[in-house]
Amino acid sequence: MKSAVPFSSFEFLIAWRYLRAKRAEGGVSVMTLISLIGIALAVAALIIVLAVRSGFRTEFVDAILGANAHVTVYERKFDPKSGSFDYAINDYGALTDSIEAVAGVTRAAPLIRGQVMGSSNDFNHGIMVFGITLDKLKTIPNVADSEGSLGDIEGFPGGVAIGSGVARALRLSIGDRIKLISPNGVRTAFGTSPRVKSYTVAYIFTAGHYNIDQTRLYLPFGEAQSFFNREGQADQIEVFINDPEAVNAMIFALRAASGEDAVLETWRDYAGGFLRALAIEDNVMLVIMIVLILLSTMNIISGLIMLVKNKGRDIGILRTMGLTEGTVLRVFFLCGAGIGLVGTILGVLLGVLFVLNIDTIFSLVNYISGGEVWDPSIRGIYHLPAELRGMDVAKAMGISLSLSFIITIFPARRAARMNPVEALRNE
């Protein structure tokens, strides 16, 4: 008999007939349903994990890059008179201009930086102070364009800008006074006395990163120089570039523009440990999800083995009618592949719907649990982010379909190699 064209319509009809047959007819409809549900849940879980992974990295990096320098330039010069290193930048204006002239740099700004104790309303809170000019402050995206900001940033020269976490900790609002206390204050004959000064809160911002909002205060540059005894000096130059992800490619040019005494630190240096930990966690979770899908697809093998056993008589009849081993193999392959395909599609739909409504789902979880499931003080960001990417969905589909198709081959080959004579004799 002439061999049938592979995957002919009658092969699909036989496979469909076997899949929808009830158990009394020798089918495995219940096992088929279990396999579908298992694969669908596993694929949905993989899509959700990949989306949260992508969203978490994007949210974290955006929060960091939106309020922190992409590159920070310090100076480290040895002073032979004192026998120690001097970290102050004296000619910060020329250094800033030199760095801004580098191709790819969007802006550079001199900063004064110091740690102080903030006090107000009988509350105390540790604060990181950044001295900066108004025009440079307005170029920091997550500060100048902060969602839910209070006050007017134009009033910054006559006051200070504080993070929303600082405002909550010290019970401050616009127009209130905040007292800054620094241990490195006025030098006198009796030693150094703490410096204490009060400022008006002119602007309250939310940068999107918990640690930044909880500790940061911006002080006018000239006032910061006076408060920290840095007259005519800057502590560092913060640099923003066009493509922060390609910051390593610009280090050579920035180092050449900064001089031989310069020390450069990129955003990857201080956030690199977290990003590496996140990458390791992503890989581990991906492996776990692949194993979960593999376990779910194992139901296909058990279902097909049962189907082959129950359909032994049918296989014998089909073989005696002239169907080849290849035809029988394709029929049972279509059975398993069909389960994997439908389960994968259902899983994709379920996973996509979950990701698109993740905020609503977490709000419901918070309501049911009666508490805050997501703690920003631990996570660093204010909500569980999820970013749905086509590549992640395609990856989940590819993994599920590949595993489903591969494991289906083994029971399908067993059915194809069944001796028709022995099959009919056993019946």
Count of CA atoms in the C-beta half-sphere (13 A) of 67: 26
Give how many domains the chain has, as a whole number: 2
Check whether residue 111 and residue 242 sit in a common domain: yes
The HSE-up count of residue 85 (CA atoms within 13 Å, CB side) is: 8
Q: Does 270 map to a domain? A: no
Asked if residue 105 and residue 27 are part of one domain, the reply reads no
From CA 195, how far away is CA 164, in angstroms rounded? 25
Q: With cut-offs at 50, 70 and 90, classify the pLDDT of residue 25.
A: very low
Examine the pLDDT at 318 and tell me if it is beyond 80: no
Give the pLDDT confidence score for residue 177 in this predicted structure: 94
On whether both 200 and 128 belong to a single domain, the answer is yes
pTM: 0.69
Q: Which residue has the higher pLDDT, 415 or 235?
A: 235
- 38 and 163 in a single domain? The answer is no
Q: What is the mean pLDDT of residues 208-237?
A: 89
283: number of Cβ within 10 Å? 11
Tokens 């006559």 map to which residue? 158
- Could you tell me the pLDDT band of residue 216, with boundaries at 50, 70 and 90? very high
Question: Given a cut of 80, is residue 124 above it in pLDDT?
Answer: yes
Residues 405 and 361 in one domain: yes
Residues 169-192 as b or e (16 or more Cβ within 10 Å = b)? bbebeeebebebebeebeeeeeee
Domain that holds residue 289: 9-62+275-426
Crossing angle (nearest 10°) for helices 325-356 and 358-369: 70
Paired residues of 128 in beta bridges = 115, 216
114 assigned to some structural domain:
yes
Rounded Cα distance between 140 and 146, Å, is 10
Residue 2 confidence class, pLDDT cut points 50, 70, 90: very low
218 & 286 share domain: no
130, pLDDT greater than 80: yes
pLDDT score, position 66? 72
Per residue in 241-289, pLDDT (tens digit) is 988 888 888 989 998 998 888 889 888 887 777 777 777 877 888 888 8
Residues 280 and 251 in one domain: no
Per-residue pLDDT band for 52 (boundaries 50, 70, 90) equals confident
> What is the band of 403 on the pLDDT scale with cuts at 50, 70, 90?
confident
State what percent of residues in the chain have pLDDT above 70: 81
pLDDT at 62 over 80: no
Residue whose pair of structure tokens reads 């081993």 in the numeric block: 325
pLDDT at 29: 64
- CA dist., res. 338 & res. 329, Å (int): 14
Residue 1, pLDDT above cutoff 60? no
Sequence-distant (6+) residues with CB within 8 A of 251 are: 71, 264, 266
Average pLDDT for residues 283-307, to the nearest whole number? Answer: 80
Look at residues 260, 294, 313 and tell me which one is the last residue of a structural domain. Answer: 260
In a domain? residue 256:
yes
Whether 344 is covered by a domain: the verdict is yes
Report the candidate in 411, 419, 420, 425 with the shortest Cα–Cα distance to residue 28: 411
3-state secondary structure the chain: CCCCCCCCHHHHHHHHHHHHCCHHHCCCHHHHHHHHHHHHHHHHHHHHHHHHHHHHHHHHHHHHHHHCCCEEEEECEEECCCCEEECCECCHHHHHHHHHCCCCEEEEEEEEEEEEEEEECCEEEEEEEEEECHHHHCCCHHHHCCCCCEECHHHHHHCEEEEHHHHHHHCCCCCCEEEEEEEEEEEECCEEEEEEEEEEEEEEECCCCHHHHHHEEEEEHHHHHHHCCCCCCECEEEEEECCHHHHHHHHHHHHHHHCCCEEEEEHHHHHHHHHHHHHHHHHHHHHHHHHHHHHHHHHHHHHHHHHHHHCHHHHHHHHHCCCCHHHHHHHHHHHHHHHHHHHHHHHHHHHHHHHHCHHHHHHHHHHHHCCCCCCHHHHCCCCCCCCCCHHHHHHHHHHHHHHHHHHHHHHHHHHHCCCHHHHHHHC
Q: Which residue has the higher pLDDT, 342 or 320?
A: 342
Are residues 205 and 337 part of one domain? no
Nearest to 300 by CA among 347, 340, 344: 340
- Alpha carbon distances (Å) from 290 to 54, 295, 321, 393, 402: 17, 9, 41, 14, 11
Given a contact cutoff of 8 angstroms between Cβ atoms, the answer to whether 124 and 169 are in contact is: no
Of how many residues is the chain composed? 427
Nearest to 389, CA basis, from 397, 381, 400, 401: 397
Which of 230, 260, 290 corresponds to the end of one domain? 260
Q: Are residues 144 and 219 in the same domain?
A: yes
Residue 68 lies in a domain: no
Q: What is the pLDDT of residue 353?
A: 93
Does residue 339 have a pLDDT over 70?
A: yes
Asked if residue 138 and residue 27 are part of one domain, the reply reads no
- Give me the amino acid identity at 316: G
Statement to judge: residues 94 and 50 lie in one domain: no
* Angle CA 226–229–235, to nearest 5: 100
Residue 95 included in any domain: yes
Q: What pLDDT does residue 173 have? A: 92
253 inside domain: yes
71 part of a folded domain: no
Query: Average pLDDT, whole number, for the chain?
Result: 81
Last residue of a domain, one of 260, 295, 321: 260
pLDDT of 322 above 70:
no
The pLDDT of residue 186? 64
- pLDDT of 271 reads 75
Helix/strand/coil (H/E/C) assignment for every residue in 81-102: CCCEEECCECCHHHHHHHHHCC
Residue 271's identity, in one-letter code, is A
* Amino acid at residue number 346: L
Average pLDDT estimate for 356-374: 74
My answer on whether 46 and 95 are in the same domain is no
